[in-house]
Amino acid sequence: MLRTERLNAGYGQLHILFDVDINVEKGITAIIGPNGSGKSTLLKSIFGIATVHSGSVFLNGKDITRIPPHEKVKLGMAYLPQTENVFSNLSVKENLMIAGYGLEEETLKDRIDSALEFFPELKNHLKRRAGTLSGGERQMLAMASALVKNAKILMLDEPTAQLSPKLAEKILERVQMMRDEKNLTIMLVEQNVKKALEISENAYLLVSGRVAFSGKACELLSHPKFEKMCVGILD
Ligand SMILES: Nc1ncnc2c1ncn2[C@@H]1O[C@H](COP(=O)(O)OP(=O)(O)OP(=O)(O)O)[C@@H](O)[C@H]1O
Ligand SMILES: [Mg+2]
């Protein structure tokens, strides 16, 4: 569905990703790796907000490497950065309405209702400024906004960062539900490596900007050198 081919990317001249080949199929694909290994840069270069030096990104066979982010949104891609993934100064309701900007009134209402059924926690906070939500609620609002946009591919950058273990669990459950009930394809960057792999079908381990493992998430989980690999020790 979403594929990169020998992707070399970074920031301006800075080279961070080296010949990255990934293939994201339906379901959840976990992207893990030590801090600074290039996980966020991978999402950003796919979405078009980091510099792609060479290589390509394909969506359903179509080369989208040089397509600007707002066009990628129209193609059904949603990128949820780790922070600043909602409009803090706007209310929850306004955030959802902006996500559905341009939709017919009826469709917008249906989409918002359906997103709120998925994230009922938000129902009591519709008038609150998004900036005053808790970390978990804010994450839910960001995911609900993606549902309003009718996204098909979600790129989530550490949706459980800075959440309590209990709340992190809840968010990851909801990620699974989005896969199962909304049929979404999800790229999940996570620090909660074990939990992420447990809910993912496929996995990529990035170390120093290169793919160090690719395969079934369960294979990586049961790899005898799993713990070492996760911190970037590969031999
Ligand atoms: N905007 C930027 N400009 C220059 N260098 C950057 C920028 N963003 C990230 N980097 C650098 O790119 C490298 C990879 O960073 P990236 O954020 O992709 O790692 P990560 O795997 O997401 O790490 P973490 O687990 O800490 O989120 C790091 O060396 C980082 O310092
Ligand atoms: Mg990151």
Question: Average pLDDT over the chain, rounded to whole?
Answer: 94
Residue 13 confidence (pLDDT): 94
Which amino acid is residue 84, in one-letter code?
E
Helix axes of 105-118 and 135-148: crossing angle, nearest 10 degrees: 140
Q: How confident is the model at residue 229, as a pLDDT?
A: 83
Distance CA 77, CA 150 (A): 9
Which listed CATH number (3.40.50.300, 1.10.8.50, 3.20.20.70, 3.40.47.10) goes with 1-76+185-235? 3.40.50.300
pLDDT for 51 equals 96
Q: How many CA atoms are closer than 13 Å to the CA of 119, on its beta-carbon side? A: 27
Mean pLDDT of 29-48: 96
Looking at the CA of residue 10, tell me the nearest atom of ligand 1.
Answer: 12
Which pLDDT does position 226 carry in this prediction?
83
pLDDT of residue 235: 75
Q: Which atom of ligand 1 is found nearest the CA of 34?
A: 25
- Look at residue 149 and tell me whether its pLDDT is greater than 90: yes
Could you identify the atom of ligand 1 that is nearest to the CA of residue 38?
A: 18
With a 6 Å cutoff on the Cβ, whether 41 touches ligand 1 is: yes
d(CA 101, CA 149): 9
What is the per-residue pLDDT across 2-22, written as a single tens digit (0 to 9) for each? Answer: 999 999 999 999 999 999 999
Whole-number Å distance between alpha carbons of 87 and 123: 17
- Segment 206-233 mean pLDDT: 90
Say if residues 32 and 190 touch (Cβ distance below 8 Å): yes
Of all ligands present, the nearest one to the C-alpha of 230 is: 1
Q: How close is the Cα of 14 to the center of ligand 1, in Å?
A: 11
Confidence of residue 232 (pLDDT cuts 50, 70, 90): confident
Residue 162's pLDDT band, with cuts at 50, 70 and 90, is confident
Give me the amino acid identity at 56: S
Q: What does DSSP assign to residue 60? A: T
pLDDT tens string 59-106: 999 999 999 999 999 999 999 998 888 999 999 999 999 999 989 999
**Is pLDDT above 80 for 234?**
no
| Cβ proximity of 2 and 20 under 8 Å | no
**In the chain, what percentage of residues exceed pLDDT 90?**
87
Q: Parse the chain into domains and list their residue ranges.
A: 1-76+185-235
Cβ–ligand 1 distance for 54 under 6 Å, the answer no
pLDDT in tens, 120-134: 999 999 999 999 999
Q: Identify the nearest ligand to the CA of 41 by its number.
A: 1
Q: What is the SS3 assignment for 23?
A: strand
What is the mean pLDDT of the segment spanning 225-234? 83
Q: Is 37 in the pocket of ligand 1 (CB under 6 A)?
A: yes
> pLDDT tier at 47 (50, 70, 90 boundaries)?
very high
- pLDDT at position 73 is 93
